[in-house]
A and B are shown apart, each in its own frame.
Chain A
Amino acid sequence: MFKLTRYCTLLVVMVLAFGVAAPGLAQDGENVLIMARAADTTGLDPHTQTAFASLRLLELIYEPLVQLDADLNLVPGLAESWEFSEDATTLTFNLRQGVTFHDGSVFNAADVQATFERILAEETGSATRANLLSIESIETPDDYTVVLNLSQPDVPLLTALATVNAAIASSDVIAGGDFATDVIGTGPFMLESWKPEETTILNANPNWWGEGPFVDGIEMRVIPDEASILAALRAGTIDFALLNDPLIATLLIGDENIILNRAISISYHVLQLNAANEPLDKLEVRQAISCAVDRQEVLDTASLGEGQVIGPLTIPAYMLPLSEFFCYEQDVERARELMAQAGLEDGFTLKVIAANAEPPTALSEAQTIQEQLAAIGIEVEIEPLELSVYVDRWLAADFDAAVALNGGRPDPYTMYARYWTRGGNLNTVVGYIDDTVDQLMAEGQAETDPLRRLEIFSEFQKHLVEMAPWVWLYTGYEYTAQQPYVSGFIPMPTDSLYSLSQVRLER
């Protein structure tokens, strides 16, 4: 049995080797922030990438002229100050001096001009161009002044620039570089390496104009499953994490060893009705659906009550009390009456598309709505789709109803012009437009007086809710979680990670 014994010995040795070779995977004490998230960056061009996961990385590397603070107020970014002309047709920026790009070149007005020209050029394929179309010409009277001449009054333009999609890139790269490889911004962190679906390594920018960063770098890991991210947090193998699924994030509530950060989001969960399709083209039917839905119950079931029921505008400054909206309290009786008025007392079948796990709450929301609408005879058929397939059908308006989590914008006009203006890029997806809405949007775009703008958009919201092309549901939280020794991070309603520049590790 000699040979056999040898086998057995080999086996034992292997088992022992594995036993020994598997010590805890403890972190070394370096001053590098290790963070994890479920989705990875999809590309490195700040002007064309729109996936949230990409923005989260790129906003650490590239910076726009203006930034948003945690209350969505505009604060200086690469521009120190700015000014609209009286009639809102010119916008002047005074640029920050002494800023350098990661390659050492100096930031000035030429970079701003080159950047905006790049975004506006159609061959770039930048989705953000649609928000910048009013820019007619760009002047640079000196190295640190940029004047945008607008074709029409466009107040929301300023907030539309407060995104990494309008971040300033180096004119050298724009002229002859490749955005996929020459990742050169002005931001607090510099890209060291990006291994897609694995890790991204960022180094602190020692020449950053702001105060910080206080860590030597960031290691971003992709762990595709959020529950595993949670496990990694608990095991202490990561310092910081982005979480999307409220069901997972709330497991951290009451955990003494992990800090869960919550910021109420400006993204909103919504049931989109395609008002171009029968029978949703009937106002009564849409209103009936709006009355039959118990928004709070949807929030409670799908997101465990993590968030708040809202109207169309999720920007705190523009939010209205819910009592001002049409039928925001569930009213099944009224819903039935409306159905009867539309001649549909017997109900109908409504097909609802939902993306699988995008957001993680989508199917749960669809299910709850399914139960609620059954009360007025509407039989909801849920169609769960892979994300890309969902988006494809959504863009083609190939659905009757869709459960969606739509991104919010810090300005009401930028947020909804795409949907509710004549000629808005995504108006076909909505299938609804009327004069009041179109008119109010136009006024809101031109109005410079903040109080008057508030009035305009209040009316806009109330009108939309009453016309019920969509059933707005709620906003949830943007979740991040961190070890207690991580300090200085400010959770943002936009989910931006820009404040990682202020983070310190005190292990």
Chain B
Amino acid sequence: MSSIANSLDVRAKEPGLFRRLLRSRSGAVGILLITFYLVVGLLGALGLTPFPPTEQHPERLQEPDSTYIMGTDLHGRDIASRIMDGATNSLRVALLSVALAGTAGTLIGTFSGYVGGLLDNVIMRIMDVFFAFPAILLALLVVVVLGPGLTNTTLAIAIVYMPIFARVARGPALAVREMEFVTAARCIGIPHWRILLLHVLPNTLAPLIVQVSLALSWSLLTEAGLSFLGLGTRPPQASWGVMLSESRGISEIAPWLMIYPGLAIMLGVLGFNLLGDGLRDTLDPRLRGRR
């Protein structure tokens, strides 16, 4: 009944998705970076920052020294603590938004592809509406409508990336729907939802996993971008984008304001990109090297 599911089980058990991932150079570096990011984010979430991230010290624009290892900003807040808090916030936004977008998008896409016909057409046209904008502008619009803040940024990013997941999931669903075993399954009276769940969905997994990793990096970038424009994370909560934006014009006097948040964003995005590359190489050798 569930040959596909079985084969997927086998694949998962086959020693090594993780080990194979580690064996690929990009996968290993990606995992390393992301682990580091997760640890920093976790420390931030637990409040284990050197200083409270919003505390204002009298030492404004202090150069990095032994007390403030990454210096302080215009308000006298400790950059290192804010970087950690920023990691927590951006991780929260990235994970939640991708989880939302991934789940909703996959369900919509799979359903749409499986059902086909007019409904499929209508659903995909609606998705097209979201595709008719540059992602950042769409996210910006959504945030303005919903109001800024972590939750709304999460929602905005989820809305922006949901159609991408829908498209990715729809393709395989469309293909599987024509396959013999699905017809067979339908003939012996297996309900649609079971077919969807057991036969269609597993087939979309490989591309989706790759997509998740890429979406995480986009989400990180989008959050930073929105925050840079003052529309993402609400101040005084820290966000790498806000920090970078605050460095404008005064980075001449205080380059550390720009360097550390900049590095943080780059390493975070790099981590997810590399993981994505690694996953793609491991899961789907045919896609190797494509982007």
Contacts and interface: CB of A to CB of B under 8 A. Distances in A.
Interface string A300-313: 01001000000000
Contact of B250 (A230, A364, A385): A230
A356 B235 contact: yes
The A interface is mostly helix, strand or loop, or mixed, namely: helix
Interface string A202-232: 0000000000000000000000011111110
Interface string B109-126: 000000000000000000
Nearest to B73: A247
B234 A384 contact: yes
B248 A228 contact: yes
Contacts of A386: 144, 147-148
Given A247-B75, A367-B236, A226 B249 contact: yes
A227 B56 contact: no
Nearest to B249: A227
B54 interface: yes
Q: Which of B54, B144, B235 has the most chain A CB atoms closer than 10 A to its own CB?
A: B235
A96 to B, nearest CB: 43
A227 B147 contact: no
Nearest to B231: A386
Contacts of A230: 249-250
A225 B234 CA distance: 18
A389 interface: yes
A385 B249 CA distance: 25
A385 B147 contact: yes
Interface in B247-283: 248-250, 252-253
A380 interface: no
A229 B249 contact: yes
B74 interface: yes
Range of interface residues on chain A? 20 to 34
Contact of B147 (A231, A234, A363, A389): A389
Contacts of A226: 249
A227 B234 contact: no
Interface residues of B, number: 18
Contacts of A357: 230
Nearest to B252: A231
A251 B54 CA distance: 21
B11 to A, nearest CB: 42
Interface string B47-85: 000000010100010000000000000110000000000
A474 to B, nearest CB: 17
Contacts of A225: 245, 248-249
Nearest to A230: B249
Interface string B218-249: 00000000000010001110000000010011
A492 B250 CA distance: 27
A304 B60 CA distance: 10
Contacts, number: 48
A364 B56 contact: yes
Contacts of A385: 147
Contacts of A389: 147
Contacts of B252: 231, 234
B247 to A, nearest CB: 8
A182 B148 CA distance: 39
A145 B60 CA distance: 58
Q: Which of A226, A248, A386 has the most chain B CB atoms closer than 10 A to its own CB?
A: A386
Contacts of A384: 148, 234-235
Contact of A356 (B148, B249, B250, B253): B148
Contacts of A356: 148, 230, 234-235
Nearest to B246: A227
B55 to A, nearest CB: 9
A227 B258 CA distance: 13
A326 to B, nearest CB: 28
Nearest to B235: A363
A416 B37 CA distance: 53
A385 B253 CA distance: 30
Nearest to A226: B249
B250 A367 contact: no
Nearest to A364: B75
Interface in A119-173: none
Given A247-B74, A364-B75, A389-B147, A227 B250 contact: yes
Contacts of B235: 356, 363, 384
Interface in A240-276: 247-248, 251
Given A364-B75, A384-B148, A228 B249 contact: yes
Interface in A347-384: 356-357, 363-364, 367, 382, 384
A361 to B, nearest CB: 10
Interface of B: 54, 56, 60, 74-75, 144, 147-148, 230, 234-236, 245, 248-250, 252-253
13 contacts: A225-B249, A226-B249, A227-B249, A231-B250, A231-B252, A248-B74, A356-B148, A364-B56, A367-B54, A384-B148, A384-B234, A385-B147, A386-B147
Given A225-B249, A301-B56, A364-B56, 7 more contacts: A225-B248, A247-B74, A251-B253, A356-B148, A363-B236, A385-B147, A386-B147
